[in-house]
Amino acid sequence: MQKEETKKRIEQLTRVLEQHNYSYYVLSNPTISDYDFDMLLEELIQLEKEFPEYLLPNSPSQRVGGEITKTFKTVKHQYPMLSLANSYSKEEMQEFDARVKKGLELDTNSLFAPDIEYVCELKFDGLSISLIYENGQLKQAVTRGDGVQGDDVTTNVRTIRSIPLKLKGDFPPAFEIRGEIFFPRNVFDEINEEREEIGEAPLANPRNAASGTMKMQDSSVVAKRKLDCFMYYVLGENLHFETHSENLDKAKSWGFKISEKSKVCKNIDEVFDFIEFWDKERYKLPYDIDGIVIKVNNYGKQEQLGMTAKSPRWAIAYKFKAAQVSTILESISYQVGRTGAITPVANLKPVLLAGTTVKRASLHNADIISKLDVRIGDTVFVEKGGEIIPKIISVDLTKRNENSAPVEYISECPECGISLKRNEGEANHFCPNENGCPPQIKGKMEHYVGRKAMNIESLGAETIEQLYEAGLLKNIADIYDLKKEQLLPLERMAEKSANNLIDGIEQSKQIPFERVLYAIGIRHVGETTAKKIAKKVKSIDLLMHSTTEELLQIDEVGEIIAKSIQEYFSNETNKKIVERLIEKGLQFSLSEEQLQNTTEKLKDLTFVISGVFQKHSRDELKNMIEQNGGKNTGSISKKTSYVLAGDNMGPEKLKKAEALGVKIISEDDFLNLIS
């Protein structure tokens, strides 16, 4: 393809992908299948790799992330991001309305005093963000910070699909827009399910998780978190609109995601109606809100009212009370996960909370039980505020039975009776009987056949339970010994179902190595870590014989994961299962296609990349280092082999490299190393 044709194709793909992205994430009206979208995106990424000179900073390809940010630059806000004053009652809202009228010099005693028009908006429970646009392109994204200055998180924000990288329509040449980054509830639930599956502590709540995600160093991990964002405030010179509501409507036409739930209220009574409605209906939303934001709609009136040192006088936040009830803790049961992690669960006297009947609440681990000093028979307070799962927040000690005794945490597995263990530095106890404990056996099989693992759709939890009880499945390797004639006598198993199951099992043999590695269920090895390990070690045989030091050289592998990998392969039962899977023809090494262009030329060499490069992007250079056996790190130390420096190398890095005597090489020097 000629260069000019390539450039045109990149521009065309960019336009098409931007429109599909807008339709899906902003309008919630997809116009193309996920597969077709991925194919177009893959084509764009490939063309940009071959012709990096045509890669635009706001290309749709940047949505997938990959850039590492070790430190987040502090940026001063052009317009301070002030916090809002809070109110918690109707009386406080009436006082706010009176202050507004007084500030506008209206006669509040007159029967004919004009009402104030307010805009009511949902108060999203997430992370405030400020976006700077110039000539229709996203230039910078900055967190609220202390209100005067925040952190530059542009790289991570580019991965959020509902935030436009390029605007459409008649947008101003330069302006700022503010909004709230948040976790949709279903996404948050999925992440916590996966974390609990691999034995990691669940994220506390969507708000804190959104904030923590924005400060992650690896933008590709941020991209996988599927954050969302509503915009709610436009700032800038010459915006040409008299009201806040008009500006939001206009921002929507530029491509921003604006909440459809906002409402212009003609007076404070309509504001009360709006608050009352959403106080009841908020639990039906697919995301969390913790109140309502009320703003004077007219910009002229806003300017007249002005600001205090801490907050605007023309806006206020009405905060909902966290939904809370009291009930009786009747018992504590203990669940065993597929990794053996034990989760204590509070069984409660059923009680209505935030529109649903609550019977159970997670107690997480022994430390939480001890911290709460919660006991059987206690009257406990249960809350469902920013949390998805109800949690016990305290005990009503005035109602405690004087004969109550502290909870004695179990010492043996409730399923198989084996003594529990608790590793240093870990929150959970776990059952070490991984190949003999029924919930672990079945849980491992359910994980193995899952969509992100081997994707054997016909083999769901019920079928696994049925086959386990029939003695046909005792571990994941047994799946590949199943015969059609064994399946047909089973209840609800017709010939078509049996054929589909056998076909699905056969097709799973083509699943690539990194997903097989994730599927076999090594404790603490999640989907992303499995990919990193597979890319580095290239085969299961090399992984089985890796030393601790070699494992620690792999990106995202720390001491806990390294120890877990070695423990897994030191177990004879696990080794036999893997050997059986290898015999059945599963992919336990990288394919020829994946191995293409990989060498050991940079083996045992460690690189730090700094600056801007002419021929390749930083991500491409990092991939080239890994493909040739080298390792990328973010900071310079005595162990650093080379600093790969481009234009505008960080002065601190330069100073440290010179002080430690680390060799600094150019992009051309590096290309010579691997040529």
Q: Contact at 8 Å (CB) between 395 and 378?
A: yes
DSSP class of residue 385 equals S
Instruction: Check residue 360 and report its DSSP letter.
Output: E
The tally of CA atoms less than 13 A away on the side-chain side of residue 146 is: 5
Contact between 162 and 21 under an 8 Å Cβ cutoff? The reply is no
SS (H, E, C) 615-632: CCCHHHHHHHHHHCCCEE
| Surface-to-core class of residue 533, CB atoms within 10 Å of its CB (0-12 exposed, 13-18 middle, 19+ buried) | buried
CB neighbourhood size of 414 (10 A) = 15
Contact present, 524 and 547 (Cβ < 8 Å) = no
Q: Is 537 exposed, middle or buried (0-12, 13-18, 19+ CB in 10 A)?
A: buried
Helix, strand, coil: what percent of the chain each, to 5?
40, 20, 40
Whole-angstrom CA distances from 230 to 438, 450, 576 are 45, 32, 51
Kindly list the catalytic residues: 123
Residue 523 CA to residue 444 CA, distance in Å, equals: 11
Tell me, what DSSP letter sits at residue 321? P
Residue 117 CA neighbour count, 13 Å, CB half: 11
Distance between CA atoms of residues 139 and 135, nearest Å: 9
What is the Cα–Cα distance from 125 to 200, expressed in whole angstroms? 24
